[in-house]
Amino acid sequence: MRTYLVGGAVRDKLLGRALVDRDYVVVGARPEDMFALGYKPVGKDFPVFLHPQSGEEYALARTERKTGHGYHGFDFQADATVTLEQDLARRDLTINAIAEDEHGVRVDPYHGIRDIEQRVLRHVSPAFAEDPVRLLRVARFAARFAPLGFTVADETMKLMRGMVAAGEVDHLVAERVWTETRKALTEPQPSAFLRVLRQAGALAVLFPEIDALYGIPQRAEFHPEVDTGVHIEMVLDMAARLAPRDDLVGFCALTHDLGKALTPIQELPRHLGHEHLGVAPLHELAARLKVPAEHAALAELVCREHLNAHRAFELKPSTVLKLLSSLDALRRPERLDTFLLACEADKRGRLGHADDDYPQAAYLRAARGTAAAVTAAPFVAQGLQGPAIGAAMEKARIQAIAGIKPGRS
């Protein structure tokens, strides 16, 4: 019975990154051996155990065999005869197929250390093509490691294109697509997630609403990058910079301009009304992927109202209050914060504008603060009742917002 540290923990040690989770594989053991040592079973499809003291996961070495479509279509073998090399062979990427024993000696049968040094994401074996989730995982790892210079190996990209052509990606369930997407939105460079999926042909299958944005021109005086798809990539990366690891802001950034794909050709490169056109495709995307309700709700608000945020200084005080009310910002200021981060990412996610100020955010937060300070108590004291109290509060809030001097820059 031998125990090895495996996967991401070994990879991240080699990259000098902080270790978040440690996973172990146990070779030469049976489930009853683990029970005898006090380990607690947690695996459903194959034997995984929790260490009795640390709570870390220990899995018996296993092999897997493809039996059907999708990522559920596998049979597993986990017994004392499975070798470490066999267990590592079933992993997705070479950089995740490195093991380390208790003495720090590394086992690297698939040259993952070389690929870490060369900054390459490369599949371990042709069996990679049997699990469509791996395509999403490669795109997600690209979003994580692109800042370090990692790229997808040509042969791996070829394999991924073949998976899409064979229809394997069509068998991905919505929940798994969303789980991987949500993780990708928390990575340092989410644009790489889109680029890898698009290069593989998977973006058009999984996110047709996003894929449709590529090649759609915008007015160069406002968007020097011109291409709307490129703009979305820049907004995603800016969102990751402004709100690290915040997938809610990231999802709002991803979907805020879906309406631009629906602009009539004769109107290009202008996009009049795109903020309203984008609501329907956003609903379709959110429903198809079973996106959480709050993500869908805030993304819709960003889609519909981001232009109002950009022109906040031109809005009438009554319109500012209406905007704040649509966000429920008086009761839930955190929604305004999310909204403003996504809007700022949109404004700064343009070629040559990454370091622009966004004073609209401070103005709208000040408007929210002064409006929220208006309460019902003084109007009740005046003897007002029922709807009259609400009307008086609305008027007072509009007057309070009107008293704020916008801090333009």
Q: What is the pLDDT of residue 409?
A: 41
* pTM of the model as a whole: 0.92
Q: What is the pLDDT of residue 140?
A: 98
The two structure tokens encoding residue 301: 């608000």
The domain defined by 1-118 folds into Beta Polymerase; domain 2 (3.30.460)
Q: What is the pLDDT of residue 78?
A: 75
Task: Give the side-chain half-sphere CA count within 13 A for 129.
Answer: 16
Q: What is the pLDDT of residue 46?
A: 66
Helix (H, G, I), strand (E, B) or coil at 49: strand
Q: What is the pLDDT of residue 393?
A: 96
Contact 27, 62 (CB under 8 A): no
Sole residue written with tokens 């042709």: 126
Q: What is the 3-state secondary structure (H, E, C) of 264-320?
A: CHHHCCCCCCHHHHCHHHHHHHHHHHCCCHHHHHHHHHHHHHHHHHHCHHHCCHHHH
Task: Give the side-chain half-sphere CA count within 13 A for 300.
Answer: 18
Comparing CA positions, the residue from 130, 193, 119 lying closest to residue 160 is 130
Find the angle CA(143)-CA(63)-CA(55) to the nearest 5 degrees: 65
In the chain, where the domains are located: 1-118, 254-409
Q: What is the pLDDT of residue 75?
A: 60
Q: What is the pLDDT of residue 65?
A: 66
Q: What is the mean pLDDT of each run of 10 residues along the chain (409 residues)?
A: 93 92 91 90 80 90 67 64 92 96 95 98 95 96 98 98 95 96 98 98 98 98 97 98 98 98 97 97 98 98 98 96 97 97 98 97 97 94 93 96 76
Q: What is the pLDDT of residue 73?
A: 47
